[in-house]
Structure 1
Amino acid sequence: MTTKTNRSYFVNRAAAVALSVFAGLFSLQAGAESIAIYAGKLFDSSNGKLLEDRTIHIVDGRVESVQKGFAKRDRERLVDLREYTVLPGLMDMHSHLTYEFGPRAYMESFSWNTADFTLRGVDAAHRTLQAGFTTIRNLGDHDNVTVSLRNAINKGLVEGPRIYTAAKTIATTGGHADPTNGLRQDLMGNPGPVDGVIDGPISARKAIRQRYKDGADLIKITATGGVLSVAKSGQNPQFMQDELEAIVEAAKDYGFTVAVHAHGKEGMIRAIRAGVDSIEHGTYMDNEVMDLMRRNNTWFVPTLMAGEWVTEKSAIEGFLPDLVRPKAATMGPLMQDTFSRAHKRGVKIAFGTDTGVTRHGDNAREFLLMVQGGMSPADALRSATWNAAQLLQVQDELGSISEGKIADIIAVAGNPLEDISEMQRVLFVMKEGVIYKESSELPGDVFLEQDISG
């Protein structure tokens, strides 16, 4: 054997040994990803019941099984939550991570750079996850920031919830989400589908295709006027029927669902008939609209926190623009009653807050308002787990703690079926098998030492 051959042999042998060691380390690391959670109470979101004394077995970020009693397996790490109520990770179907409304919000489009909105989104995402919300729909943003934020979270570069984003909202000229509303004439310009403004079926289709190009996960449109836009009407219909039908038809071609901001009755009726997936806000919804939603299997996302917030702020002199303030004072107080009537009539309801109008991280206040509006605590929790997963069409992956699903798991100290305010005090957050929050209120480190002896 030549010297050159000897050298080659030893290099290859060393590489093989190193590879073997690495493989062994990787195997140990993979083994450490097996976790057992002892749950004193476990919320079964499929039926709204609490189960007693369950062990959740998690392997590689997914629920392998849920068993009665407390029994961990060999090589499993133990998370001891026997004194707590364990629930699926919460899901907010209406959020805006790049916004957080305040007196200077209307000036941010002029004074903030894209990087400023990005940094706010990073902070908002962190607060949202810490509050127990492991999945959100982001329904409109600045400069497609949440597309990049979603990707960064998926890569593990940033901590935050799983994001399904609509990127830029689609409006009509002068509509609720037209970004040039309220500007002086020479600044208005003529925004088009790339900017989220359409007129007619052709530009509607182009806007859908642009969202696909931008990397959006779903579509958000503003079918009626809104409360906070600098425009006179908060409820007038702002899309024609042929525009809505073009949007839904094109969206289906690209695998998009369609979420619809709508306050006024006529705009809701047009959108529902066109085949959209959800109505957001729904302030002036009446029995005719509700029955149409039931027949068309359309979801309602009520955003009660936003209604409460605009009602409060409308009473503060100078907080809102003069054109906005009367809309807020009139429409805000109606939203709670609309929710109560829709719930009683059997409309399908999924949890959504419109956070970004309100403070990120306070999302769980929506549960209190839903219960005040006549919904049981169990159904309120189901709206943010089981129902939300159905609306997102990810029910095979999320929405419950059950075999094969992603291990998004949270815990609270008390019983939220007796006191729904417990949801505002989430102590433990796991997303895809990784712990992101372990409150100091828990008794020491919830992780017990790995037991390899069984």
Structure 2
Amino acid sequence: MRSAVLLTLGIALACSTSDGRASDTLVFDYTTIVRAGQLLDVESGEVRRNQCVYIFQQLITEVSPCSASEFRTRGKASKHHIDWSAYTVLPGLMDLHTHLADAGQSADLALPLKTSPAATALIGAKNARDTLMAGFTTVRDVGTYRGLTDIALKDAINAGRVPGPRMFVAGGYITKPGGGGELNGVVDNEKLPEDMRYGVTVGPEQAAINAEYFIEEGADFLKLIATGAVLAIGTEPGEPELSIEEMKAVVDTAAKRGVYVTAHAHGAQGIKNAIAAGVRSIEHASLIDDEALKLAKAKGIWLVMDIYNGDYIDDIGTKEGWPEEYLRKNRETTDVQRVGFTKAVKMGVKIAYGTDSGVYPHGANGRQFAYMVRYGMTPMQAIQSATIRAAELLGKEHELGSITTGRFADLVAVKADPLADIAALEAIDHVMKGGEIVR
């Protein structure tokens, strides 16, 4: 039975009389109706057939069964009626480890330095469009060499100046000098431009100052570099970098401002240090051990493990002549990361979808789904990791991540059934963001 949704926070408004009694209610029904042949309910893990999604402005007002005749009849009352009865419809996908506002990975170590902030932002605009067209309507952008360009890109998308996904951004990296968040091996780091070193940190006091700076500039969360990196000269993935005290200073500063912290951490000790400091999520977790897995499980820490791009780095990096140090560290972390991922799935550790896009070309974000299924997830679990679970990590599960009343109308449609062939999500047929068809 259809339930009307009152206009509250943009959907409904209940009007009251002077004595406090509810008066007649102003109801806004829908301006757009979408018919889904098969709809994935990622909250329950169920598949619902022949459903209609009713949308008012940017938000979903109702989801209910409907026949072809009901769709035609009710479609006449809408401005837009979209027939996806031949498609599987699921929530807009979410990638929680992207680098849209960056020059991209190549054999040229100096490329980020050669690319000006303005050029970086323009590259980011193209990357954002490519990502949205691939069905990823929300991303968490986890850092850029050119500090704050991700914030500028987010603002441009929000203002409608460029097309792109909803962005949650870090502003830059909080890293030790010469650490995994620095552009090493090009010039002396002290000679790098200021915008490439906003987050360079020595000691807890400076860590707190840098955290406050990024938040003031518009960061939605903060990114720590807790260990060395695969794609950074002179650092080792297994080696801890920032101290627990430095990371805790960032976490405490962020908490006062209602912001959470994530940590780039490949090595097991660095992961444990970051968890001890109070981070919400761990990026990569390539060398995670059983103790760290148990700790993540016990404390409800999210893992965002980019288990696809190791193959891309080995293949393309070798062909294009990326630094041998990169290729060596990639070989040392790829397979063991996938073993850790499988263990995490079996243990029930929280996992959200993140790919490290920018290492590989933007728009190919969907390639990781097949890897997640290969290494232990069911297709539904993999989809949930990129929808409702990702929204939970962001703290936005009441706004994003599911096709549910009151959520943003972010939808994607595919001809094939991704529960039968998860690779179907590598080629999205239609994309809607906030009630508007973008593909």
Aligned ranges 1:169-184 → 2 under 5 Å: 169-179=173-183, 181-184=184-187
Aligned to 2:357: 355
Q: Distance in 2 between matches of 1:186 and 1:381?
A: 41
- The structure-2 alpha-carbon separation of the partners of 1:116 and 1:400, relative to structure 1 and needing over 3 Å to count, comes to same
Q: Distance in 1 between matches of 2:113 and 2:245?
A: 34
Q: Note the alpha carbon deviations across 1:264-284, whole angstroms, 9 max, x for none.
A: 011100111111011111011
Aligned to 1:233: 236
Aligned ranges 1:46-445 → 2 under 5 Å: 46-70=43-67, 71-72=70-71, 73=74, 75-76=77-78, 77-99=80-102, 101-141=104-144, 142-179=146-183, 181-185=184-188, 188=191, 195-313=198-316, 315-316=318-319, 319-437=321-439
Please say if residues 194 and 210 of structure 1, whose CA atoms lie closer than 8 Å, have aligned partners that are also in contact.
no
Aligned residue type for 1:418: A
Please say if residues 39 and 82 of structure 1, whose CA atoms lie closer than 8 Å, have aligned partners that are also in contact.
yes
What is the CA-CA distance between 1:333 and the residue it aligns to? 2.8
TM-score of the superposed pair, with normalisation by structure 1: 0.85
What is the CA-CA distance between 1:314 and the residue it aligns to? 5.6
- The structure-2 alpha-carbon separation of the partners of 1:80 and 1:326, relative to structure 1 and needing over 3 Å to count, comes to same
Task: Tell me the SS of whatever aligns to 2:269.
Answer: helix
Task: Tell me the SS of whatever aligns to 1:263.
Answer: strand
Please say if residues 303 and 350 of structure 2, whose CA atoms lie closer than 8 Å, have aligned partners that are also in contact.
yes
Q: Distance in 2 between matches of 1:217 and 1:406?
A: 19
Q: Note the alpha carbon deviations across 1:195-224, whole angstroms, 9 max, x for none.
A: 111111100100111001211111011100
Task: Tell me the SS of whatever aligns to 2:324.
Answer: coil
- The structure-2 alpha-carbon separation of the partners of 1:100 and 1:85, relative to structure 1 and needing over 3 Å to count, comes to farther
Task: Tell me the SS of whatever aligns to 1:206.
Answer: helix
Q: Distance in 2 between matches of 1:270 and 1:400?
A: 33
Q: Distance in 1 between matches of 2:249 and 2:235?
A: 27
- Highest CA radius of gyration, 1 or 2? 1
Q: Note the alpha carbon deviations across 1:417-453, whole angstroms, 9 max, x for none.
A: 000011012111110001100xxxxxxxxxxxxxxxx
Please say if residues 307 and 371 of structure 2, whose CA atoms lie closer than 8 Å, have aligned partners that are also in contact.
yes
Aligned residue type for 1:348: K
Task: Tell me the SS of whatever aligns to 2:325.
Answer: coil
Aligned residue type for 2:167: I
- The structure-2 alpha-carbon separation of the partners of 1:314 and 1:132, relative to structure 1 and needing over 3 Å to count, comes to closer
Q: Distance in 1 between matches of 2:63 and 2:411?
A: 13
What is the CA-CA distance between 1:337 and the residue it aligns to? 1.8
- The structure-2 alpha-carbon separation of the partners of 1:236 and 1:313, relative to structure 1 and needing over 3 Å to count, comes to farther
What is the CA-CA distance between 1:190 and the residue it aligns to? 11
- The structure-2 alpha-carbon separation of the partners of 1:193 and 1:101, relative to structure 1 and needing over 3 Å to count, comes to closer
- The structure-2 alpha-carbon separation of the partners of 1:198 and 1:339, relative to structure 1 and needing over 3 Å to count, comes to same
Q: Which has the higher contact order (CA 8 A, sep 6+)?
A: 1
Please say if residues 231 and 324 of structure 1, whose CA atoms lie closer than 8 Å, have aligned partners that are also in contact.
no
Q: Distance in 2 between matches of 1:281 and 1:308?
A: 15
Q: Distance in 1 between matches of 2:29 and 2:248?
A: 51
Q: Distance in 1 between matches of 2:324 and 2:432?
A: 44
What is the CA-CA distance between 1:176 and the residue it aligns to? 0.2
Please say if residues 310 and 332 of structure 1, whose CA atoms lie closer than 8 Å, have aligned partners that are also in contact.
no
Please say if residues 193 and 210 of structure 1, whose CA atoms lie closer than 8 Å, have aligned partners that are also in contact.
no
The number of aligned residues is 406
What is the CA-CA distance between 1:374 and the residue it aligns to? 1.6
Give the unaligned 5+ runs of structure 2: 1-27
Aligned to 2:18: none
Q: Distance in 2 between matches of 1:182 and 1:381?
A: 39
Task: Tell me the SS of whatever aligns to 1:381.
Answer: helix
Q: Distance in 1 between matches of 2:425 and 2:371?
A: 12
Q: Distance in 1 between matches of 2:403 and 2:81?
A: 17
Q: Distance in 2 between matches of 1:291 and 1:192?
A: 38
- The structure-2 alpha-carbon separation of the partners of 1:100 and 1:381, relative to structure 1 and needing over 3 Å to count, comes to farther
Give the unaligned 5+ runs of structure 1: 1-30, 438-454
Aligned residue type for 1:93: L
Aligned residue type for 1:51: R
Q: Distance in 2 between matches of 1:192 and 1:38?
A: 48
